[in-house]
Structure 1
Amino acid sequence: MEYVTLDKIIKDLKLEVIHEADNIHDIKITISEMNRPGIQLAGYFESFAYERLQIIGNVEWRYFDNLSDDRKLKIAEMLFSYPIPALIICRDLDVFPEILKSGKEKNRTILRTDLSTTKFINHLINYLDEVLAPEITIHGVLVEVYGMGILLMGKSGVGKSETALELIKRGHRLIADDAVEIKKVEDDIRGTSPELIRHFMEIRGIGIIDIERLYGVSAVKQWEFIDLVIELEFWDEEKEYDRVGLDEEYIDILGTRVPKLVIPVRPGRNTAMIVEVAVRNNRQKLLGYNAALALDERVKEMMNMRKNV
């Protein structure tokens, strides 16, 4: 999402509205950074980051409280002369009359929270990082297998949902079926399900099933980081599939490289078991052990020994 409106922030974070600007629905927040205007309350407005949400904590409040009434009014007028999105006062502190008067005159929004300044800032940053994160929706199934997020992809009818269902029966967890909403949060990508279809799965021949109802709350999860992509495809007799695993393939998702495997599907293959093995093998690689490389080294050593004989 490119922006979040101020009225949505107020609703989601349950902020108290002291004064609401006329254009509150049009005020857009595009960055997760904010500003504590301590230096501005001292009268220094050069390089003022006015486009950010302004946070008043206990320190700023105490400093402002020690100013004379005339000075308070002058600083408040200077502060609200800039088009700040909103001024948020923490710790449920009182709103100074000068702040309220200037905010109303300049049509600025004044909000309040009972949270401590540090806790509210952390809460706000996490919230903005989440809602402003780049996102895409991918057709696939996301499951958690052995604590890793596995995105199953492939053409319709290849057996993604059936494979996920078998994995759930084996004790793993469903995050999303059919549509996976993916967001990039800092350097990680994580997937979840659209709220409308969360915990539901479509199985051809049966229809829609509710995984949480059938298998319990331990069988579902709201979100998970994506650690591995497995593409399921119908077995092609003319295609040469990787039988060693020395060549590693990656897929780019929102600018992040994620390991990818292509697993051919045909009757008689236990796809769910193969996915489990793939996950275990990928974890071993993350821990520094690659079975394909280890075997390759053994072969090279044997060949060298034979040459030296």
Structure 2
Amino acid sequence: MVDRVSVRQLVTETHLTVYSGEAYLDERQVSVSDISRPGLELTGYFNYYPHERVQLFGRTESAFARNMTSAERLVILRRMAAMDTPAFLVSRGIEPLAEMLEAAESAHIPVLGSKLPTTRLSSLITDYLEGQLAERRSMHGVLVDLYGLGVMITGDSGVGKSETALELIQRGHRLIADDRVDVYQQDEQTIIGEAPAILSHLLEIRGLGIIDVMNLFGAGAVRARTSIDLIVHLENWTPDKQFDRLGSGEQAQTIFDVAVPKITIPVKVGRNLASIIEVAAMNFRAKSMGYDATKTFEQNLNKLIQSNSEE
């Protein structure tokens, strides 16, 4: 977990324009994901001014400020340029006010811009900052993208997670992380997984060593991050353990505050795990669209029982 993001990182990752303050991009840090649109502050009301946030000026704020005198604008913008204000940001390609540039330069605050509409820009910045500033956990497993679903394969060491992921990659699916997955909660329903920087694009195969998936299979075989939609747990098969045969026993694993659906697959000699996991992903997608083979089977069974009882 990081508690701050430099303004330079923000500029680079969200493709912002730097109008002034290039020298202060590393110095200024963002510590909260919320964005401030300083409407009340422009009227002189600073009782609850969130000075630690990125200050976003859209069409409304800019138009209001232009109706003020130059002296009034300078007074307000100097009050807004606090010691911990990360940056001023102007949307829609609007040129920043001269008084904004002057106040920002005096306080060593960068002035940034974007051509995006204000609402879209606010969402972009917020999503990026939430992802960077969110609490992170490390989980043991392999994360792959199957048909657009993020599937995390878990299980004891040596059960065959990486080998299964390798076969899935050969079938055209994409690797996100092997061995260790960094996870964080994006919102109330979404968990995001990504590889630690040191393990990015790498896959460890016992007896072969570490392979670079992107170099061997191309850029289309890897992905930086994905939501975790399904957990597939691989467990060594034993005759005394009962496994779900009909798919009616729904499981879930809680990561942070989100319950992620989970299925357990027994590992046994001769089973093609890659094919089974592919089908598991397709079946999960079908269920999410309202098609449940287990319910169909149960309905057919009930009809058969009912018809036999009537004879």
Give the shorter-chain TM-score range.
0.7 to 0.9
Q: Give the match for residue 112 of structure 1.
A: 112
Check the 8 A contact 1:86/1:108 in 2, yes or no: no
Q: Identity rate of aligned residues, in percent?
A: 35
Cα shift at 1:297: 2.2
Partners of 2:50 and 2:296 in 1: CA distance: 55
What's the Cα RMSD here? 3.0
Partners of 2:13 and 2:59 in 1: CA distance: 24
Check the 8 A contact 1:85/1:108 in 2, yes or no: no
Q: Give the match for residue 241 of structure 1.
A: 243
| Residue segments in structure 1 that go unaligned for 5+ positions in a row | none
Which letter maps to 2:163? E
Which letter maps to 1:147? G
Structure 2 CA distance for partners of 1:60 and 1:21, relative to 1, 3 Å: farther
Cα shift at 1:167: 1.6
Q: Give the match for residue 18 of structure 2.
A: 16
Structure 2 CA distance for partners of 1:40 and 1:159, relative to 1, 3 Å: same
When normalised by structure 2's length, the TM-score is 0.84
The structure number with the bigger radius of gyration is 1
Q: Give the match for residue 206 of structure 1.
A: 208
Check the 8 A contact 1:135/1:254 in 2, yes or no: no
Matched position secondary structure for 2:245: coil
Partners of 1:139 and 1:170 in 2: CA distance: 23
Q: Give the match for residue 53 of structure 1.
A: 54
Partners of 2:30 and 2:214 in 1: CA distance: 37
Partners of 1:81 and 1:258 in 2: CA distance: 42
Moved more, 59-68 or 175-184: 59-68
Check the 8 A contact 1:20/1:109 in 2, yes or no: no
Which letter maps to 1:262? T
Cα shift at 1:152: 0.4
Cα shift at 1:5: 3.8
Partners of 1:116 and 1:296 in 2: CA distance: 52
Matched position secondary structure for 1:168: helix
| Residue segments in structure 2 that go unaligned for 5+ positions in a row | none
Matched ranges for 1:91-110 at <5 A: 91=93, 93-97=95-99, 99=100, 107=107, 109-110=109-110
Q: Give the match for residue 76 of structure 1.
A: 77
Q: Give the match for residue 3 of structure 2.
A: 3
Q: Give the match for residue 155 of structure 2.
A: 154
Structure 2 CA distance for partners of 1:121 and 1:26, relative to 1, 3 Å: closer
Q: Give the match for residue 224 of structure 1.
A: 226
Which letter maps to 1:128? L
Partners of 1:20 and 1:89 in 2: CA distance: 16
Q: Give the match for residue 184 of structure 2.
A: 183
